[in-house]
């Protein structure tokens, strides 16, 4: 239905913007697509674990 399509578009925009904010906050070099792939693989881990994955050192 039309409402379902609108909801999916809005949710996709929210996910994109939140991912962009995390990328900027952590100063990541990876693309948003790469970050989203990591989100899917560590979705049940703590935030510190996510930060360690992208830690350059």
Tell me the per-residue pLDDT of 21-55, one tens digit each, with 9 for 90 and over.
988 988 888 899 998 888 888 888 887 777 777 77
pTM over 0.85: no
Considering only CA atoms, which of 50, 46, 48 is closest in space to residue 34? 50
Higher local confidence (pLDDT), 12 or 29: 12
């Amino acid at each position: 239905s039309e409402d379902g399509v609108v909801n999916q578009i809005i949710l996709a925009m929210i996910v994109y913007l939140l991912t962009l904010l995390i990328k900027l906050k952590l100063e990541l070099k990876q693309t948003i697509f790469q970050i989203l792939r990591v989100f899917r693989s560590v979705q049940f881990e703590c935030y510190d674990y996510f930060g360690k994955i992208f830690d350059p050192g």
